Structures are given as C-alpha cells and as structure tokens.
Amino acid sequence: MNDPRLDLRGRGAVSNPPNRFESLSFHLELTDESLFPEEERVQPTTRLFRDTSRTIVNKNDSPDVGFEYSINPYRGCEHGCAYCYARPTHEYLGYSAGLDFESKIFVKDKAPELLREKLMSRSWQPASLFFSGITDCYQPIERRLRITRGCLEVLREFRNPAGIITKNQLITRDIDILQDMAKLNGIMVFLSVTTLDADLGGKLEPRTSRPQARLKAIEELARHGIPVGVNVAPVIPGLTDHELPSILKAAADAGARWAGYTPVRLPGAVLNVFTEWLDTHKPERKEKILSAIRDVRGGKLNDPRFGSRMRGEGAIAENLRQMFKIYTRRENLNREDLHLTTEHFSRPGDQLSFL
C-alpha cells in the first residue's frame, strides 16, 4: 500500500512489502490521502551503510546466467527499477525488497583492496569477472564513491578481463580504463535498455539514465573502440515487448555489435512491488500485462526454472524469440563471437600491465 505521508516521486517501489524471513510485520492503515497534502509529504531518504564483507568475488552456480564470477560493489540499488529481480536479496539483510532496496544501500568501500587480495592469491585461476549480479555498479552513488572505478583499476593492472552491464551513462567516465583493457580483449560492456519511451522509463526505472543517454553511452563507447552491446531487458509483455525491434535498431545505429534480451522475471516480493507499480501508473492495463506475463511463464507470474526463466515459453515467448532473431540479423548484430581472454593475466612484477 502507498504510504500517503511519503512523496514517492523518483522511486520505483511505493511501499515496503513484508520481509519473507520476518514473522512479524505491520500494515499502516492510512487511506485518506487528503489528510497529507502533497506539499507536506517527505521523500524517503537514501541511507548508506558500510558493508564489511571480507570477500568481493562471488562464484555463480546458476547454469543459465553466462558468467561464473561476479563482483557487486554495492548491495541495493538507487536506480529503483520496479521490476528488478534482485530486490529479494535485501531480505537477507533484514530489510524489505521494496523502498528499502532502493533507499538503504550497502557500500563495499574496501572492494578494490579485497579484489587485489583475491587476484594476488595463487589459488586464483584467471577468469572473467562480471559487474554485477545483484546491483548496478554505476548507480548514482558511484559518481562520488568511485568504488567500481577502483575495481577496474585493479583489473587493468592484473590484466584480468571483465564484463559490465549497466543502465547508467556514468560508465563513460571510465573510458580511459576501459580502452586500456579493450586493447587486450579484456572488456565487454552491455547497456541495458528497457524502453525508448522516456516518460515510461522515468516511472518504471526512475533513477537510471534516460534511454537516449544510454544510447549516447553506446555511441561513445563504440567510438573509443570498446566492445559494446545492448541488453533489451527486461522485456515486459503487454507493456514494452512491441519496442524490441526499435531498441535493437537504435542500439545498432549507435554502434552496438551484440544484443541479448530477457523477459521480465518477478521472483518473490518483486511481484508485489511490480503489481503495486501497475496499480499506481498503469491501472487500466494491469490485467492485460499480467495476463501476458502469465502466458510467457506457463500460467504463472514467475517461473524460477533454470533455462526457461531466461526465455519463457508459449506463444508470446516464441514470438519474442522470432522477432529477436529477425531483427538482430537485420541490424547486423551478433555477427561475431564475444571473446574475452585471460591469456594476458599477470600479477604485479610478473610482466607489463594493460598500459
């Protein structure tokens, strides 16, 4: 339920759904919004917490995500995407997957040092590292804290390859590092684009870079020789699926060489967050959108099975597959293999760095 005491502009979630691990929860019964004039409402404050994790490299055992190791410089994400599949991870920290996920951000300020320690270990077998599995490494706070940049500096020094996926134009700040890594096939970047409709994007993913800014980032990265692609994700049946061809074309025109897509996933409390978003922003289309999602998910609103969760099933899912195939071919996307190499990996003192 929307808390009428709060000004939720710039937020994707409108409430804090109960934490599945907590036996006690409360529900605020405030139904008369007229009691709280708009000018008296307050915006939820973003708070930062120091994350004292002793490791930064996470091993992934899921067979359908395409990477083995990941780095998450933050937990939680200011971007506030209403559909974000990572929201339930905040429940492990004792918080909600709703507003808490986007307003209580855990900061791994020691991440570069921990990464250096990991790569210096003789037990580390060089492998590509992925930014990030459960957050966006270029969310707004990164502009000031520069933790992701610090990690990239370490990777450049060790010549360890990495992949990045982000919704934020801020990645262009680090072109100097990315260029050095690209010289030895040590980096690939994907900009995630959900919609080209700036108004829809501003409501659905309120603190991300706007769609045109992301396309501009693709263009700038490509111009500097950095391998870049587009991830059309999530595709939301009944809401954004019709945009797949136009997003692929716009990204290709900007310089993207590769593309991927994923239908929306609504695990756990994400379903509550997303349906509340529909109630707030698209009430007239809510049932149509949810029905289309069920069609992709075998009659359910979420399908956690490996493999099918990334592509879906049924008529709409098949239509997406065919559409993606046709338009990637038409736009000359995915015509070459994505290739990162670990052959240049070296520890300080062994041989030259990327520079």
Convert the pLDDT of each residue in 177-217 to its tens digit: 999 999 999 999 999 999 999 999 999 999 999 999 999 99
pLDDT at 350 over 50: yes
pLDDT in tens, 254-269: 999 999 999 999 999 9
Looking at the chain, the whole-number percentage of residues with pLDDT higher than 90 is 78
CATH topology of domain 33-330: pyruvate-formate lyase- activating enzyme (3.80.30)
Nearest to 312 by CA among 245, 263, 241, 268: 263
Per-domain boundaries in the chain: 33-330
Higher pLDDT, 154 or 351: 154
Q: How confident is the model at residue 1 (pLDDT cuts 50, 70, 90)?
A: very low
The two tokens of residue 118 are 């990991």
Confidence of residue 35 (pLDDT cuts 50, 70, 90): very low
Report the chain's terminal Cα–Cα distance, integer Å.
53
Pairing of strands 69-71, 47-50: unpaired
- β-partners of residue 235 are 263
> Who's near 283: CB < 8 A, 6+ residues apart?
none
Q: Name the H helices within the chain.
A: 99-103, 111-120, 142-145, 147-158, 175-182, 198-204, 211-223, 244-254, 270-281, 286-296, 308-311, 315-330
For residue 311, what pLDDT is reported? 84
